[in-house]
């Protein structure tokens, strides 16, 4: 039997340091769903997993298992199995004994041999059952650790970065095995990782965390295509999305443009609904996001509807075999996003709900919690003027400011000036706080929420 898991405004604070590592997290996991908790190291995702397992006490909020309150339920009573990052096998036990150990604890006097053998056949480790962990490779030890969890027939699997200690080839192989096994077993699975490739390939849904605050949850396709803020946009996708400093110009009698330093993007008329939302940003700096597939190498004459031309100077080529990543210098300034992957920005206010708070107070708290601190504030370097021009970047610049994905048959060389076409249908624009303003947000908070 599988089960539903619900977290309602769950927080975790370590009293010794007063550090809030998980902040009012609400998340519903359906029976049989594979949910991935994704985020940088230190964002609180493993703490969430341990609270679900009962290994960490919940400071505030409620954990519901199949709709029943479970905050005080001991780990043994939650019918869950956990797979740890470091395998956690008993070195003095064979693989057979490691897999059968929890079965002997649950049912003393009952021979677990049948279930151990069935689990070993499922994982293809029958020939490893009589070996000790020290005689196994990393991948084999991880299979034994998974077998120990599977043999229990739990109602939920909790996996804490189980593949992070393995090499890339073995990681990809076991990733496919985990996906197939959980699909066949139909058991609710919560999987923690900082690797967005694992998250995108495994999860039915992905929940992105930053500073212990849920940033966005949705299917891998939805999170990639419509990131809620600049943090999610930058964390999801390989290569990382291009983030450029932009300035919106929307004269009453002329075309709307987004200045990118030495070049600009001219928005086609009539303006789409998404681009009309940019009018309120007139004269303001914004963060322009362009994924590598949103730009292609082609002459202006080959432009399709919705594409606008710019040019780029080739600064670096990354040959990937099936594709080439080209780093262009377009004269733009990369957006400096402070603390993009920092686990806990300094100076975060205490956002605990007060008993006398109003609906508007809760709405403001909800908006602040969504950002978990400044994600994309574009501050001018000291000494620059307040004129509506783009200030220079304050950090050392990597080769180029725009990475474009192309096929290996296109011949390019360092220093070549190349025509580019930008597909405005895949244009992201974020405000100075890092919130997405284009495409327009698809959800307006309900005042009663």
User: So what's the pLDDT on residue 94?
Assistant: 94
CATH number of the domain where residue 14 is located: 3.40.50.300
Task: Could you list the beta-strand ranges (E) of 79-193.
Answer: 80-83, 156-160, 188-193
Structural domain of 92: 5-225
- Tell me, what's the pLDDT at 369? 44
The mean per-residue pLDDT over the stretch 54-67 comes to 94
Q: What is the pLDDT of residue 259?
A: 93
Residues 266 and 167 in one domain: no
Mean pLDDT over the full length of the chain:
84
State yes or no: pLDDT of 449 exceeds 70.
no
**Who's near 89: CB < 8 A, 6+ residues apart?**
98, 133, 141, 144, 145, 148
> Looking at the structure, do residues 183 and 98 belong to the same domain, yes or no?
yes
Q: H or E segment at 370?
A: helix 359-371
Please say if the pLDDT value at position 366 is more than 80: no
pLDDT of residue 203: 92
Main-chain dihedrals φ then ψ at residue 16, nearest 5 degrees:
-60, -35
Give the DSSP letter string of 246-297. EEEE--TTS--EEE-SS-EEEPPSSPPHHHHGGGGGTT-EEEEEE-GGGEEE
Residue 209 placed within a domain: yes
pLDDT score at 86: 82
**Number of structural domains in the chain:** 2
CB within 8 Å of 105: residues ≥ 6 apart: none
Strand pairing report for 156-160 and 60-65? unpaired
pLDDT score at 50: 95
Q: Is the pLDDT reported for residue 392 higher than 50?
A: no
pTM of the complete model: 0.82
Boundary-marking domain end, from 164, 199, 225? 225
Indicate if 167 and 289 belong to the same structural domain.
no
**Tokens at 412, concatenated:** 């390019």
Cα–Cα distance, 402 to 423 (Å, whole number)? 14
Mean pLDDT in residue range 387-391: 40
Q: Give which of 154, 152, 145 is closest to 125, Cα–Cα.
A: 145
Residue 50 vs residue 362, higher pLDDT: 50
From the list 426, 421, 410, 424, the residue with the least C-alpha distance to 303 is: 421
Does 301 share its domain with 161? no
| pLDDT of amino acid 315 | 94
Instruction: Write out pLDDT tens, residues 225-243.
Output: 999 999 999 999 889 999 9
Q: Rounded mean pLDDT of 136-156? A: 88
Residue 345's pLDDT band (cuts 50, 70, 90): very low
CA distance 29 to 22: 18
Burial 156-179 (b: 16+ CB within 10 A, else e): bbbbbbbbeebeeebbeebbebbb
Which letter does DSSP use for residue 394 in this model?
S
106, 174: one domain: yes
Q: What is the pLDDT of residue 157?
A: 92
Output the pLDDT for position 223. 94
Q: What are phi and psi of 45, to 5 degrees?
A: -70, -40
Same domain, 89 and 19: yes
Residue 235 within a domain:
no
Q: Encode 285-310 in three state secondary structure.
A: EEEEEECHHHEEECCHHHCCCCEEEE
Assess if residue 290 is contained within a domain. Answer: yes
Collapse the DSSP code of 190 into the 3-class scheme (helix H, G, I; strand E, B; otherwise coil) and give the result: strand
Let me know whether 220 and 262 are in one domain.
Answer: no
Same domain, 217 and 310: no
376 and 400 together in one domain:
yes
Taking residues 69-78, report their average pLDDT: 93
Alpha carbon 340 to chain centroid distance?
12
């Amino acid at each position: 039997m599988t089960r539903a898991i619900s977290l309602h405004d769950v927080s975790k604070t370590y009293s010794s340091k007063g550090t809030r590592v998980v902040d009012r997290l609400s998340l519903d996991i359906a029976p049989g769903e594979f949910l991935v908790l994704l985020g940088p190291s230190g964002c609180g995702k493993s703490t969430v997993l341990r609270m679900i397992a009962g290994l960490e006490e919940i400071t505030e909020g409620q954990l519901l298992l199949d709709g029943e309150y479970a905050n005080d339920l001991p780990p043994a009573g939650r019918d869950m199995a956990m797979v740890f990052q470091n395998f956690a096998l008993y070195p003095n036990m064979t693989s057979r004994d490691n897999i059968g150990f929890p079965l002997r604890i649950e049912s003393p006097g009952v021979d677990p041999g049948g279930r151990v053998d069935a689990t070993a056949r499922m994982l293809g480790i029958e020939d490893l059952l009589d070996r000790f962990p020290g005689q196994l490779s990393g991948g084999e030890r991880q299979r034994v650790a998974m077998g120990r969890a599977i043999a229990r027939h739990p109602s939920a699997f909790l996996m804490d970065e189980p593949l992070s200690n393995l090499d890339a080839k073995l990681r990809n192989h076991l990733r496919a095995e985990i996906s197939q096994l959980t699909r066949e077993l139909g058991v609710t699975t919560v999987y923690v990782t900082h690797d967005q490739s694992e998250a995108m390939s495994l999860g039915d849904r992905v929940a992105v965390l930053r500073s212990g605050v849920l940033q966005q949850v949705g299917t891998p396709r939805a999170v990639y295509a419509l990131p809620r803020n600049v943090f999610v946009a930058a964390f999801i996708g390989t290569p990382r999305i291009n983030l450029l400093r932009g300035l919106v110009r929307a004269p009453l009698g002329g075309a709307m443009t987004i200045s990118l330093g030495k070049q600009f993007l001219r928005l086609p008329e009539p303006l789409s609904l998404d681009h009309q939302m940019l009018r309120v940003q007139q004269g303001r700096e914004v963060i322009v996001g362009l994924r590598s597939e949103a730009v292609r190498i082609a002459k202006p004459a080959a432009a399709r509807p919705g594409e606008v031309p710019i040019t780029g100077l080739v600064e670096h080529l990354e040959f990937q075999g099936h594709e080439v990543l080209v780093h262009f210098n377009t004269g733009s300034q990369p957006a400096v996003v402070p603390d993009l992957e920092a686990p806990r920005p300094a100076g975060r206010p205490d956002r605990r709900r007060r008993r006398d708070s109003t609906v508007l107070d809760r709405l403001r708290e909800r908006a602040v919690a969504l950002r978990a601190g400044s994600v994309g504030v574009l501050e001018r370097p000291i000494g620059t003027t307040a004129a509506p021009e783009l200030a220079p970047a304050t950090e050392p610049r990597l080769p180029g400011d725009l990475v474009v994905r192309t096929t290996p048959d296109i011949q390019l060389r360092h220093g070549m000036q190349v025509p580019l076409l930008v597909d405005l249908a895949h244009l992201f624009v974020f405000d100075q706080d890092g919130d997405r303003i284009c495409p327009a947000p698809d959800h307006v908070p309900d005042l009663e929420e």
